[in-house]
């Protein structure tokens, strides 16, 4: 499907022949070398097990790609049901500087509403920025919840403060993380997809809430992001691995952000987090909370995590009334009714209907 704008620009769905130009264009957004950028694009948009093809909109001018808006596919499951809900998450958005301020970002968002709604039903934006918020609201997105960062400073807060903005990328082996077996905790630099999928399959889920579909194909693919570094912590017991925690390691190895966790028995994740904290692997450890699930909030509160609202967020409250940039939601249909925001009597407009973790975001 192609659209020609009054300004002469042409919008179309991404096709394989666009790949080289799109990857080159994204060099203005992704600050990595060309080889990593190419592998990142293929991992994110071509290898995703939840997509039915490359998902993105390109803007063309004289047959040259001058804009791209990518969509990250995920699937969510309601309670213990087998049926799942296809979700597209607006992610990477970039327009060539010579073609900005002409409404192309919003136009590409409108063009994306032509995707097959039999497979994908919702847009769920977990990585909206302050710069793109106004455009998303203009597209009909509705605020769902505030994102709140919980943080636990390490044993030397001053060291954390001095190092947190460091841009120098260092190899993971130069971090303070000790890899190997430490009692019942195994620390690894790669995922264990089978063990993690088994733990996820045994989680108890509220029947009136949606959670991310985390099966073997998901785990086998998700942590191969070539632009990210991860550390994995597994709790080994007689019957195998009983819990895991996945952490994104900052470029300078100083900060750790918890992305995902799961357990087969109560307080197993607590034991892993206690190990990470006592081992002093990071100057600060944090997690983004989406405000609904009180169990993880209590878990992290017990471990000394506190809520942080940076000054720039407190002074930049959007029109939604939420602190910072909120999670946004919108049906994919161009025109929609309240029924499009309901699934099996679950109201998708309520954050209590979702169980979101940082790994749900395309930015994780």
- What is the percent of the chain where pLDDT is above 70? 90
Residue 139 shares a structural domain with residue 263: no
Whether residues 75 and 171 fall in one domain: no
25 and 133: one domain?
A: yes
pLDDT at position 289: 86
Spatial separation of the C-alpha atoms in residues 324 and 146, rounded to whole Å? 7
pLDDT on residue 192: 97
Domain that holds residue 56: 2-145+327-349
Q: How much is the pLDDT for 229?
A: 96
175 and 244 in a single domain? The answer is yes
Q: Is the pLDDT of residue 322 over 90?
A: no
Average pLDDT, rounded, for the chain: 88
pLDDT-derived band at 81 (thresholds 50, 70, 90) equals confident
Q: What is the 3-state secondary structure (H, E, C) of 205-243?
A: CCCCCEEECCCHHHHHHHCCCCCCEEEEEEEEECCEEEE
More confident residue, 244 or 308: 244
36 and 167 assigned to the same domain: no
Is residue 17 in a domain?
yes
Run of H or E residues at 22 = helix 19-25
The answer as to whether 248 is a domain residue is: yes
Q: What is the pLDDT of residue 89?
A: 94
| Number of compact structural domains in the chain | 2
pLDDT at 2: 74
The pLDDT of residue 166: 57
User: ∠180-182-186 over CA atoms, to 5°?
Assistant: 55
Q: For residue 59, is it within any domain?
A: yes
pLDDT tens-digit map of 150-199: 899 876 555 555 555 556 788 999 999 999 999 999 999 999 999 999 99
Pairing of strands 327-331, 306-308: unpaired
Residues 16 and 135 both lie in one domain: yes
- Please name which of 358, 245, 244, 338 lies closest in space to residue 293, comparing C-alpha atoms: 358
Could you tell me the pLDDT band of residue 316, with boundaries at 50, 70 and 90? very low
Please tell me whether residues 291 and 165 are part of one structural domain. yes
Would you say residue 323 has pLDDT above 80? no
Regarding whether 191 and 102 lie in a shared domain, the answer is: no
Question: Is 362 among the domain residues?
Answer: no
Q: What is the DSSP letter of 97?
A: G
pLDDT-derived band at 242, boundaries 50, 70, 90: very high
Do 205 and 341 share a domain, yes or no?
Answer: no
State the pLDDT confidence band at 34, using cuts at 50, 70 and 90.
very high
364, part of any domain: no
CATH number, domain of 39, equals 3.40.630.30
**Per residue in 101-123, pLDDT tens?**
999 999 999 999 877 767 889 99
Q: Is the pLDDT of residue 43 over 50?
A: yes
Model pTM score: 0.91
pLDDT of amino acid 317? 43
The encoded tokens of residue 149 equal 């960062």
Quick one: which of 209, 198, 175, 186 has its CA closest to 354? 209
89 and 183 inside one domain: no
The answer as to whether 322 is a domain residue is no
What is the chain's length?
Answer: 364
| In a domain? residue 259 | yes
Q: What is the mean pLDDT of residues 207-233?
A: 96
Do residue 141 and residue 194 come from a single domain? Answer: no
The residue-averaged pLDDT of 32-54 equals 93
If asked whether residues 140 and 165 sit together in one domain, one would say no
């Amino acid at each position: 499907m192609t659209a020609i704008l009054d300004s002469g620009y042409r919008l179309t769905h991404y096709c394989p022949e666009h790949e080289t130009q799109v990857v080159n264009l994204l060099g203005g957004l992704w600050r990595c070398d060309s080889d990593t950028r190419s592998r990142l694009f293929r991992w994110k948009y071509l290898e995703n097990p939840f997509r039915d093809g490359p998902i993105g909109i390109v803007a063309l001018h004289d047959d040259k790609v001058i804009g791209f808006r990518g969509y990250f596919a995920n699937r969510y499951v309601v309670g213990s049901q087998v049926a799942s809900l296809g979700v597209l998450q607006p992610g990477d958005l970039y327009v060539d500087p010579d073609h900005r301020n002409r409404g192309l970002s919003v136009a590409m968002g409108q063009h994306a509403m032509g995707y097959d709604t039999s497979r994908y039903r919702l847009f769920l934006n977990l990585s909206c920025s302050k710069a793109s918020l106004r455009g998303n609201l203009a597209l009909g997105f509705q605020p769902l919840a505030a994102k709140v960062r919980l943080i636990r400073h390490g044993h030397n807060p001053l060291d954390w403060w001095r190092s947190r903005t460091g841009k120098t990328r260092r190899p993971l082996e130069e971090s303070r993380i000790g890899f190997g077996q430490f009692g019942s905790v195994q620390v690894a630099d790669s995922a264990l997809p089978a063990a993690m999928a088994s733990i996820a399959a045994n989680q108890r889920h509220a029947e009136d809430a949606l959670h991310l579909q985390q099966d073997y194909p998901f785990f086998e693919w998700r942590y191969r992001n070539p632009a990210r570094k991860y550390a994995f912590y597994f709790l080994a017991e007689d019957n195998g691995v009983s819990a895991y925690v996945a952490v994104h390691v900052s470029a300078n190895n100083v900060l750790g952000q918890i992305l995902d966790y799961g357990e087969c028995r109560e307080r197993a994740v607590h034991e892993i987090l206690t190990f990470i904290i006592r081992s002093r692997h990071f100057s600060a450890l944090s997690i983004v909370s989406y405000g609904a699930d009180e169990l993880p909030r209590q878990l992290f509160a017990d471990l000394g995590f506190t809520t942080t609202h940076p000054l720039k967020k407190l002074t930049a409250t959007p029109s939604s009334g939420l602190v910072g940039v909120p999670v946004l939601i919108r049906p994919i249909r161009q025109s929609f009714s309240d029924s499009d925001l309901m699934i099996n009597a679950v109201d998708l407009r309520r954050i209590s209907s979702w169980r979101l973790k940082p790994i749900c975001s395309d930015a994780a």
